[in-house]
Amino acid sequence: MLHDKQFLLDLRKHFRLNIYEAKIWTALLSRGLASAGELADISGVPRSRCYDVLESLEKKGFIIMKIGKPIKYLAMEPDIILERVKQEIKEEAEQLAIQYESIKGTDEFKELELLHKTGVQHVDVSTLSKSVVGRTAINRHIKEMVSKAKSAVIIVSTQEHMERVIKLLKNFMPGFAKKGIKARIYAPQNKPLLKKLQNVEHVEYSANTSFVSIDRSEMTFMVSNQSVAPDYEVAIWINSRFFVNAVNVLFEESLR
């Protein structure tokens, strides 16, 4: 089971780990108590990376270091880790809700309300926004949206969504420069993935949400994270220059 690829991939998503962390943690769970060298042999993680991975797992609370010669490590119970991850997700969701609640007090949002109240032409809301359900449908929708970009593509990505976003952009990146499209991704530092970027500026940013925006007029928000079953993933698409531009302005202001 320790070497089952799908098991490790599922473990990464559910517990928000990278592949080396998942391998070391499962190896330690199987042994109970082990040294770094033993864990490297069991897990297949290179010894040169083993200590970095163990330090990361310790900071996240997945393992405990036992002082001695040699230093050994003890794995925390999965039940405890699961509750901790659930609490972290809940806290992130609450922070995100607070951030969006603050939009109500901005001049841009007041302008949106005024436009809605004074507009002389009725607009069918279904043409301005919709939900997209299922990972395949979301991926297809993002590709279609990016293919229409004329001047700008902005991506904000969490660590867990980075690989997926870069894969979706793969066929579009070579053409960004030719079309004069300014593309930028705000995401955590991840050198192996960032090496795959072409004609896309990277800005280091630890995001707790993911969205893609084009030409400051269309935007797709990821509502669920990748731990959700693919068929139940949900994204929200919004087609409103006023709203999308306001969100982009607020996001850029928060970086200063």
Number of CB atoms found within 10 A of residue 42's CB: 17
Cα dist. 4→28, 38, 180 in Å?
16, 19, 44
Task: Show Cβ contacts of residue 159 under 8 Å, excluding neighbours closer than 6 positions.
Answer: 16, 187, 188, 190
Give the closest residue to 132 by CA, choosing from 8, 31, 239, 242. 239
Task: Show Cβ contacts of residue 59 under 8 Å, excluding neighbours closer than 6 positions.
Answer: none
DSSP state of 232: G
Give me the count of residues in the chain: 256
DSSP state of 255: T
Cα dist. 123→90, 127, 247 in Å?
35, 8, 21
Per-residue confidence of the chain (256 residues) as pLDDT tens digits?
Answer: 445 777 778 777 778 888 888 888 888 888 888 888 888 888 888 988 998 999 988 888 888 888 888 888 888 888 888 888 888 888 888 888 888 888 888 877 877 777 767 654 554 555 578 889 998 999 999 999 999 999 999 999 888 888 888 898 889 999 998 999 999 998 888 888 888 888 999 888 887 788 999 998 899 988 877 677 888 889 999 988 888 888 878 777 777 6
Distance CA 188, CA 184 (A): 13
For residue 2, the model assigns a pLDDT of 46
Which amino acid belongs to residue 224? S
Residue-range domain boundaries for the chain: 5-81, 127-254
For residue 180, the model assigns a pLDDT of 93
**Fold topology of 5-81:** Arc Repressor Mutant, subunit A (1.10.10)
Q: Which residues of 181-191 are buried (b: 16+ CB within 10 A; e: fewer)?
A: bebebbbeebe
Does this model's pTM top 0.75? no
Distance CA 43, CA 63 (A): 15
For residue 1, the model assigns a pLDDT of 43
Q: Check: CATH 3.30.870.10 for 127-254? A: yes
